[in-house]
């Protein structure tokens, strides 16, 4: 059985890094990811540079890499919060976009300076406009805090379902159930997905697990049992939303690949190339990967070389 890996390292992985990362380092990182066999990558975000300074070179990245991504037949998308971001998508001929909102007004105010209702209203205009203007349009939308909000606590699954239904009605292709702070356990994921599957098919759901408490792989396993086949991950395990206190890195792509391969699922990505793509990036950040698979793989490479 095939499982899709959606690499979000260049966006989610980098957006929370405090130290400025040169554009050239990001470009090399994305090139390495392209060569790994990944089929879907979130390459950056067109958000306000005042809100996320780390990704203020987004346009330069898209400009420099667009041809290569098109030639490699990679599906790539850019995270967009509003019409200003959409205008940039038009400018760079981007046909795949990722929108985002949340179950919680408190988080929405911190992350987007507006309540959920205003965001949904803006998307209800933005989505049909994008569909009209871009024939090959493809739209995913993240629903953050599906389980817990860092400001208001546990989220009732019925609330997650209610907001999800409104997002589905907007006509998106992919709804990304997101555990922003990485708190959920497999039972919670199972309960949430069972509810979601009353409203839409598993083929329209992706899962985006942060790995704060080390639950992400167990949550992937539970999601696969319920029919989900698309998972976000970030190479090296980097990531986190700057406006979600307590959010740590995403599920590492290396951990996801190891789990999928050993469980007999196909993903088409080269583990060695992912490990080196993230290792080169991490070296330039002066960091080590949180991924156990990454660490084991690296030490076995060094042992072989010794």
Under the rule (CB under 6 A), what is the footprint of ligand HMG? 12, 15, 45-48, 50-52, 81-82, 84-85, 100, 111-113, 142, 144, 178, 180, 208, 210, 241, 243
Which of residues 154 and 266 has its CB atom nearest to ligand HMG in the complex?
154
- Give the Å distances, CA to CA, from 97 to 91, 123, 154, 235, 304: 13, 12, 29, 21, 42
Please give the Cα distance from 188 to 180 (Å, whole number). 14
Contact 5, 267 (CB under 8 A): yes
Please give the Cα distance from 23 to 30 (Å, whole number). 11
Q: Which three-class secondary structure state does DSSP give residue 250?
A: strand
Residue 205 bridge partners (DSSP): 175
- CB of residue 8 to Mg ion, shortest distance in Å: 7
Regarding 255 and contact with Mg ion (CB under 5 A), the answer is no
Please tell me the count of residues contacting Mg ion according to CB under 5 A: 1
**From ligand HMG, Mg ion, none, interface partner of 112 (C-beta below 5 to 8 A by class):** ligand HMG
- CB of residue 294 to Mg ion, shortest distance in Å: 19
Q: Exposure of 287 by Cβ count < 10 A (0-12 exposed, 13-18 middle, 19+ buried)?
A: middle
Smallest CA-to-CA distance from 131 within 172, 83, 169, 70 is with 172
Q: Which of 7, 12, 57, 211 forms a contact with Mg ion (CB under 5 A)?
A: 12
Which of residues 30 and 239 has its CB atom nearest to ligand HMG in the complex?
239
Regarding 179 and contact with Mg ion (CB under 5 A), the answer is no
**From Mg ion, ligand HMG, none, interface partner of 15 (C-beta below 5 to 8 A by class):** ligand HMG
Which of residues 208 and 222 has its CB atom nearest to ligand HMG in the complex?
208
Question: Using CB under 5 A as the criterion, which residues of the chain lie in contact with Mg ion when the complex forms?
Answer: 12
């Amino acid at each position: 059985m095939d499982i899709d890996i959606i690499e979000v390292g260049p966006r989610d992985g980098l957006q929370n890094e405090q130290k400025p990362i040169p554009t050239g380092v990001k470009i090399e990182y994305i090139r390495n990811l392209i060569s790994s066999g990944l089929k879907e990558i979130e390459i950056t975000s067109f958000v306000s540079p005042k809100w996320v300074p780390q990704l203020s070179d987004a346009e330069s990245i898209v400009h420099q890499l667009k041809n290569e991504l098109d030639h490699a037949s990679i599906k790539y998308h850019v995270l967009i919060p509003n019409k200003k971001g959409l205008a940039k998508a038009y400018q760079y001929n981007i046909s795949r976009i990722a929108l985002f909102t949340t179950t919680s007004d408190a988080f929405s105010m911190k992350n987007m300076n507006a309540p959920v209702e205003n965001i949904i209203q803006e998307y209800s205009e933005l989505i049909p406009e994008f569909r009209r203007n871009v024939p090959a349009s493809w739209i995913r939308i993240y629903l953050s805090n599906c389980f817990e909000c860092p400001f208001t606590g546990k989220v009732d699954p019925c609330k997650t379902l209610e907001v999800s239904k409104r997002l589905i009605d907007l006509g998106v292709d992919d709804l990304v159930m997101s555990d922003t702070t990485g708190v959920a356990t497999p039972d919670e994921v199972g309960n949430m997905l069972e509810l979601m599957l009353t409203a839409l098919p598993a083929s329209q759901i992706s899962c985006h697990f942060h790995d704060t408490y080390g639950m992400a792989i167990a949550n992937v396993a539970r999601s696969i049992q319920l029919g989900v086949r698309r998972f976000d991950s970030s190479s090296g395990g980097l990531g986190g939303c700057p406006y979600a206190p307590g959010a740590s890195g995403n599920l590492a792509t290396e951990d996801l690949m190891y789990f999928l391969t050993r469980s007999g699922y196909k993903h088409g990505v080269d583990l060695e190339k992912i490990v080196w793509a993230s290792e080169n990036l991490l070296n330039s950040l002066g960091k080590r990967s949180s991924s156990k698979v990454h660490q084991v793989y690296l030490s076995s490479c060094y042992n072989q070389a010794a």
